[in-house]
Structure 1
Amino acid sequence: MPTYLTKRGATYYFRRVIPDDLRPAFGGKRELTFSLGTKDRAEASKLCRAAAVQSDKELDAARAMIASPSADGAKLADAAPIDREAYAAAAFAALQRKRDAAFSAGDLPTFDAEARENLELYQAMLDGGDNLGLSLAQVEAMQRANKALLTGDGAAVLAAAATVSRERKQAVAKPDTPMLPELIDKWAAEKQPKARSVDMWRRTCAMFYAVNGEKPVGAITKADVLAFKTRLIAEGKAPATVDSRLNHLRSLFRFAVENDIIATDPAASVKAPPAKRAKEARLPYDADALKAVFGSAIYTKGERPNRGAGEAAYWLPLLALYTGARLGELGQLRPKDIVQEVYQDAEDEDRKAWVIRIVEDEGDGLTLKNASSNRRVPIHQALIDLGFLRYVDAARDKGQARIFPDLKPDRYGSVTGNWTKWFGYHLREVCGVSDKRITFHSFRHSFKHYARACGLDKAVNDAITGHEGGDVADQYGGLEYPLPPLVEGMARYRVPGFALPPPPASLR
C-alpha cells in the first residue's frame, strides 16, 4: 500500500493522485494534498495512514456520485462537486450498498460500528479538528449520509437532492449572466473604487468559488452564500472579517440588481456573527506595552531598521501617541503642514501655537478618511522637547516634499502600506507585545483613552482626533474649530507613568 507521504522542507504532507475519471467530482483537482502539521516522521506516518483511509472513503463517495443516477435521473457527476445535497445522496447510496454487502456477509454489527465511528469523526471535523483534506461541504454531506443510514432517514436525503437538482435546472434556465470576475469588472468601471478594493473583492470572489464552485451570478443562491459564511466561520475568521467578506458580495449583488442582471440579492438577508465590542477588539497601550515599544533599540541605541524608513521608525509612534492621528495621516505629512498660528486667549491677548495641519490635497496625493478628518492638531510640548520642530526645519531646508521621505508607497500607492507591515513585525517579534488587540492603530485609542483620563472635553477630544459625533453641532469642526480649546486641551494631555525616550542623536 502506498504511503502517500511526502516532505516539503521539514514538514510532512499527505499527497495522493486523484484518478482521472474522478477528477470532475473534485473540481478538476489532480491531487489530494495537505499538510500533516508535523516534522516527526513516526507521527507523520501514523497521520498519513489515517488520511489514506479517509481518502479511500472520499474517493468511494466520488465514484458513487459519478456512477449513480440521482432521484430525477440526472447524473450526479453533472452536479457541482460540492453540492451538499447531491453529495449526501450519492454517499448514502454507496453506504447502502456497503451495508447490504455487510449484511450478506453476516458482518452487519461491524459495519454499523464503523458508521457510528465515522459519524463521530465528521462531528470532530466540524468542531474544528483536522478535516483530512475534505471540504466543509463534503464533511457535512458525509455526516448527513451516515446519520441518515443509522436513523433510517434516507428518504429525506434523496428528496433534498431532487429538490436541489430542480432548483439548479431552473437557475441554469435563466438568461445568461456574467461570472463573478466579469461582474467585478463592470462594478469597478462604474464605481471607480481604489485598486486595493478591487483586489480585495477579487480575493473574496475567488474564496467564494472555492467553496461553491464556479457558477454565473444568476445561478448563485442564498444557500451558496450561507455555505460561504459557514466556511469562513469554520476557518476561525473573526466576525468582522466574515462581515467584510459578505459585504463584498452584497455590494456586487446590489450592483447586479440595480443593473437588471439579477432580480434579487442572494446575500441580502445573510448576516455575520455578532461582532465583538470595540473596546474588546482593540486595546490602548498600557504602561508595559509603552515601555516595550519606546524601550527598544530604536529609542535607546539609535537603530534605524531599513524597513522602518529611517526617522519614521522613531517619530511615527510618538506622533501617534501625542496626536491620536491615523498612521496614513502622519505618513503623508509635508513640512508645510507644520505651521505656527496666532490666536487670542481669554484675555484677548495674542498667543502663538505650533500645529499640524492634517488636510486632504488631491493634487499632492494626500487623502483622508472623511471630511471631518481635515483639522488642526496642536503640537504637544513633549514632541517639541524631543526636537520635532527642528527635525521638520531640517526637512524644509533640504526641500523635502514629505517629512518622512524614506517611506516607500506600496503597490496601491499607500505611503505607509509597507511600513505598517514592518511595525507589526517589530511590535511582536522585537518589542514582544504579543496581544493582537494592540496594534499601531491602538495609539489612536490610547490618545482617546488618556485624553478622557485627563478630563478633556469630548468635543475637544473629537476635534483633535478628527472624530465626528452624532450631534449636528459636531459637524462644525475641522479646520474652523476654535484653536484656544484645542491648545488648552493638548496642554492638559499626559500619559501617566510614561517617560519620554531621548531625542534622536542628530537633534540633541
Structure 2
Amino acid sequence: MSLESRLLHKRSPQRWSTVAALTYMQRRASGTYEFRKRLPETLAGKPVPPHMHDGFGDLINAKTGRFKRELVRSLQTKDLKEAKKRDHRAALQATKLFDEAIKALSPRDASNESPVLDLGELESEVFVELLGVDEAERLEGDDRRHLQTQEDRAKWPDLEPIPSNAQLGMSADHFHIYGELLPVFEKEFREAFARRDPKIVYPETNIALKRRGIYWSKASAEFQGAALVVLKAHVRAYEAKSKRQRGEIIPTPAISFERKEIGPKLSDALASWAGGGLAQNAKRPKANTITEAEQAVRYFKELHGDLRLGEITREKAREFRDAVAKVPSALPSELRKLPLPRLLERDLSGFKPRMATTVNKIMQVLGGIVSRAEREGFLDKVPNYVNPFGKAIRFSVDHHETARKHFDRSDLKAIFSSPVYSLGERPAGGGAEAGFWFPLVGLLSGMRLDEIAQLRIRDLRQDEDTKHWYFDINRTGGRSTKNASSIRHVPMHRELKRIGLLRYRQSLLKSGRKVDDPLWPAVEAQGQRTRSSAWSKWFGRYLRSTCGISDITKVFHSFRHTFKRMTRDAGLSEEMHDALTGHANSGSVGRAYGRGFSLGPLAKAMDQVAPPVDLSKLSWRGVDSD
C-alpha cells in the first residue's frame, strides 16, 4: 500500500497534524473529494442550547434542531494533491470549531472574554496559536505511532517505518509532506493579504470572535477589520513556520491575556433563563413570560447595549427603569417598532401612562434572569456581585389604587345586557362564541382567563361515578397552569348547563371536531403569547367602550374576585373555596391541589353558589339550539 493510500484510509484521533488531517478525506462517486468528520460525543446528536443557534449554524441539523453527527463539506476538487491541501485546512477549522462549540455549551464559558475587541491582542493570539500547533506537530510527530503497534505494522512489509511511542519528533515522510504544504499555504495567505482580501480566513475569524462571545455579520466593517488582522497573523505565522522548516530557531512566544471577569452578556443570560433546567421536571418560563422578557432585554440593549452582567450597575438599572416608565402602556404598531431612545424622543403625552406595577414587573423579570445566572455559577468569579435589578430600585406602589376589584351588580348587569348577550353580536376580536362564554364561565367558576382559554373539548367532561360535569384543569396537551395548586377539577355550575354550555360542546363534536380540539376554536395564540392574550385586550376595550365600565382596576380577572365573594356569601369554608379556585394559601397538601375533596362535595358546594344578578334570560342560541 502506498503512503498516499495509507494516509487516505487510516483512522485517527481528532488531532491537528497534517497526516491526521488526511484521515477525514474521501472520494465521492462523482470523483470529487469531500471532508467528513464526526462531531465529538459531547455534541453529536445532542440538543442545541438556545444561545448557540446563531453562532454555530454549520454544526446544527436544520430539520431536527440538534447538533449534526458528522460535519461534511465538499472539497470541490477532483485533484488529489489539491484535495489534500484543502482537507488539511478543513480539518484545522473543524477541530477549532468543535472546541469552541464545546466551550460555548454554557454561557459561562463564553463570558470570560472581554466584550471589547482588541485587534492587537487578536493578532497576537492567532499568531501564537498557529506557532503552538506547529511546535506540537514537530515535537509529537506522526499520529500513526498512536494508532498502530509495531506488531500490527510488521504485518505489512511495504509500510515505511515510524518512530516508537517513546520517541519525539517527526518521521522523514511526515516531515516531507509537511514541508510540501507550508509554502503552498504561505503563498496563498501572502497573495490574499496583498489584495487585502481576508475571505480565506473567514472561518478562523469566526472562531476567534465566537471565543469572545462576538457574533458579527461577515458583511460588517467590524468583521472585515478583524478578518484582515487574522490574515496578517497567518502571514507572519507561516513565514515563521517556513523558517522552522529550514531548521532556524523560532520560539513560540509565551504570552497570556488577563481579562476581567464580568460574566455573560444579558442576551446570553436571557437564553439560559428561557431554556430552563436540564432535568426532566425543571421549571421553564411560560411562553408569554419569555416574550415579555425578550421585550425588556430588547429595550435594555437599545438603551445601554448588550452589556455583560458585571457591567450593569444599579445606576444603569435605574436609568433603564425611568426610561421604561416613560413608555405608555399601549402604543400603535409603528411606534412599538421604534428603538427605545428614538421612541422617547416622540411626544407621548397623548397616550395612557404605564403603571408602576408594570414597570416593577419588567424589573422583576430582568432580576429573575440575573438570579438564574447567579444560581448557575456564571457570576461566581465576578467579585462582590449584586443583582442590579433587585427590590431596591423598584417603584413603591400604592396597592389601594392598583388592586383589582370585583364586579358589582351594576357592572354585571351592564356586561350581561350588552350586545353580545342582548343582540347576539359576535365581535371579531371576541373569538366568536368565546365572547359569549368566557365572561359566564369566569363568573360561575372563578377560573383564570388563561385556564378558560386553554380548555379542550375533552376538558369539559362527565364524572363516571357522580355523573357531574366538570372542568379538568391540568397541564396535559401542552397546557400550562399558574402553579401546582391550580391543577384541579371545577364542577360546572348549574346555570352554565341551563344556558347551554353542553349544547355548545355537542355542536362542536357534530361539526366534526375531535375531543382534543380547542373548546374555543376561534381563539388563537399570537406568536409566542398565550391564547388569551389578544382576547384579553379585546375584552378590556369592550368593557370600557361598550359596557361603560371605566374603572381600570376592573378587568376580566375581576370575575375571579367576584366568584370568591360569591363563595363566601354562600357560607363555604376557606378550604372549600380555595379548592374550587385553585388558591394555595396554606401548607395543606390537600388544599394545595384541590384534592382534599372528591368531586361530589365540590359539586355540592358549587350548587350553593348563586350569581349576584339574574341570568335567567340568557340562553345560548347556536346551530342546534332549536
Normalised to the residue count of structure 2, the TM-score between the two structures is 0.48
- Distance in 2 of aligned mates of 1:450 and 1:303: 28
Matched, 1:273 2:407: no
Decide whether aligned partners of structure 1 residues 283 and 500 sit closer, same or farther in structure 2, where only a CA change above 3 A counts: farther
Post-superposition offset of 1:385: 1.2
What is the aligned partner in structure 1 of residue 459 from structure 2? 337
Amino acid aligned to 1:457: S
2:561 and 2:570 map into 1 onto residues whose CA distance is 14
- Which residue of the partner structure matches residue 220 of structure 1? 312
Of structures 1 and 2, the larger Rg is shown by 2
Q: Secondary structure at the match of 1:505?
A: coil
Q: Deviations over 1:183-229 (max 9, x none)?
A: 32344345554443333223223433555566443222122223333
- Check if 1:326 corresponds to 2:413: no
Q: Classify 1:339/1:433 alpha carbon distance in 2 versus 1 (closer, same or farther; 3 Å).
A: same
Contact 1:321-1:447 at 8 Å conserved across structures: yes
Paired positions, count: 328
Q: Cα distance 1:334–1:455, how it changes in 2: closer, same or farther (>3 A)? A: same
Q: CA contact under 8 A between 1:226 and 1:270: conserved in structure 2?
A: no
Q: Which residue of 2 aligns with 1:180?
A: 266
Alpha-carbon distance in 1 for matches of 2:579, 2:548? 33
Whole-Å Cα distance in 2 between the matches of residues 352 and 336 of structure 1? 15
Q: Is 1:288–2:380 an aligned residue pair?
A: no
Q: What is the rounded CA distance, in whole Å, between the counterparts of 2:434 and 2:456 in structure 1?
A: 13
Distance 1:431 1:476, change over 3 A: closer
Q: Is the 8 A contact 1:319 1:383 kept in 2?
A: yes
Deviation string, structure 1 residues 160-205 (Cα, Å, up to 9, x no partner): xxxxxxxxxxxx9834654423432344345554443333223223
Asked if the contact 1:225/1:270 (under 8 Å) is kept, the reply is: no
Deviation, structure 1 residue 282 = 0.2
Cα shift at 1:463: 0.9
Structure 1 residues 275, 342: CA separation in 2 closer, same or farther (over 3 Å shift)?
farther
Instruction: Report the aligned-residue RMSD.
Output: 2.8
Letter in 1 for 2:266: L
Shift of 1:300: 0.7
Distance 1:262 1:240, change over 3 A: farther
Q: Deviations over 1:348-392 (max 9, x none)?
A: xxx54222222221xx22222222222111111111111111211
Farther off after superposition, 206-215 or 461-470: 206-215
Equivalent residue number for residue 451 of structure 1: 567
- Counterpart CA distance in 2 for 1:256 and 1:339 is 43
Q: After the TM superposition, which of the residue ranges 453-462 and 184-193 deviates more from structure 2?
A: 184-193
Q: How does 1:387-406 map to 2 (within 5 A)?
A: 387-400=500-513, 401-406=517-522
CA displacement at 1:323 relative to structure 2: 0.4
Contact 2:266 2:308 in 1 (8 A): yes
Q: Secondary structure at the match of 1:376?
A: strand
The one-character-per-residue Cα deviations of 1:412-440 (angstroms, maximum 9, x if unpaired) are: 16222222222122122222211111111
1:317 equivalent in alignment to 2:432: no
1:307 maps onto 2:393 in alignment = no
- Letter paired with 2:612: P
Letter in 1 for 2:502: L
Specify whether residues 452 and 181 from structure 1 end up closer, same or farther in structure 2 by C-alpha distance, changes over 3 A only. same
Choose the corresponding residue for 1:259, options 361, 378, 398.
378
CA distance in 2, matches of 1:266, 1:374: 33
Match of 1:359 among 474, 478, 482: 474
Query: CA–CA distance in 2 between the matches of 1:319 and 1:277?
Result: 28
Q: State how far apart, in whole Å, the 2-side matches of 1:492 and 1:459 are.
A: 15
Per mean C-alpha deviation after superposition, the further-off stretch among 320-329 and 233-242 is 233-242
Quick one: distance in 1 between partners of 2:478 and 2:588? 30
How far, CA to CA, are the matches of 2:592 and 2:306 in structure 1?
A: 50
Q: Is the 8 A contact 1:287 1:498 kept in 2?
A: no
Partners of 2:519 and 2:373 lie apart in 1 by: 44
Pairing partner for 1:376 from 474, 489, 508:
489
- Give the distance between the partners of 1:472 and 1:480, measured in 2 at CA: 9
User: C-alpha distance in 1, partners of 2:396/2:461?
Assistant: 45
Task: Compute the displacement of 1:501 (Å).
Answer: 4.2
Aligned residue in 1 for 2:547 = 431
Which has a greater percent of helix?
1
- CA–CA separation in structure 1 for the residues paired with 2:570 and 2:599: 19
For 1:207, the equivalent position in structure 2 comes to 299
Query: Taking structure 1 as reference, are residues 285 and 273 closer, same or farther at Cα in structure 2, changes over 3 Å only?
Result: same
Assess if the C-alpha contact under 8 Å between 2:579 and 2:591 holds in 1.
no
Give the equivalent residue in structure 2 for 1:113: none
Aligned match of 1:29: none
Give the superposition deviation at 1:448.
0.5
The DSSP-based 3-state class of the residue aligned with 2:559 is helix
Tell whether the 8 Å contact from 2:412 to 2:613 is kept in structure 1 after alignment: no
CA distance in 2, matches of 1:270, 1:220: 15
2:605 corresponding residue in structure 1: 489
Q: Please tell me whether residue 242 in structure 1 is matched to residue 363 in structure 2.
A: no
Structure 1 unmatched ranges of 5 or more: 1-171, 344-350
Distance 1:219 1:403, change over 3 A: closer
User: Which residue of 2 is the match for residue 59 of structure 1?
Assistant: none
1:297-328 alpha-carbon deviations (Å, 9 max, x no partner): 11111111122121111111101100001112
Instruction: Name the TM-score, length of structure 1 as normaliser.
Output: 0.58
Task: List alignment gaps of at least 5 residues for structure 2.
Answer: 1-257, 278-283, 328-352
Q: How does 1:459-470 map to 2 (within 5 A)?
A: 459-470=575-586
Could you tell me how far apart the structure 2 residues matched to 1:182 and 1:433 are?
A: 44
Give the aligned partner of residue 523 of structure 2. Answer: 407
Cα distance in 2, alignment partners of residues 429 and 486 from structure 1: 37
Q: 1:187 to 1:473 in 2, by over 3 A?
A: closer
Q: Equivalent residue of 1:270, what SS?
A: helix
Cα shift readout 1:224-252 (whole Å, capped 9, x = no counterpart): 22333344557764332232122222223
Amino acid at match of 1:454: A
Identity percentage of aligned residues: 30
Q: Secondary structure at the match of 2:468?
A: strand
Counterpart of 1:332, as a letter, is Q
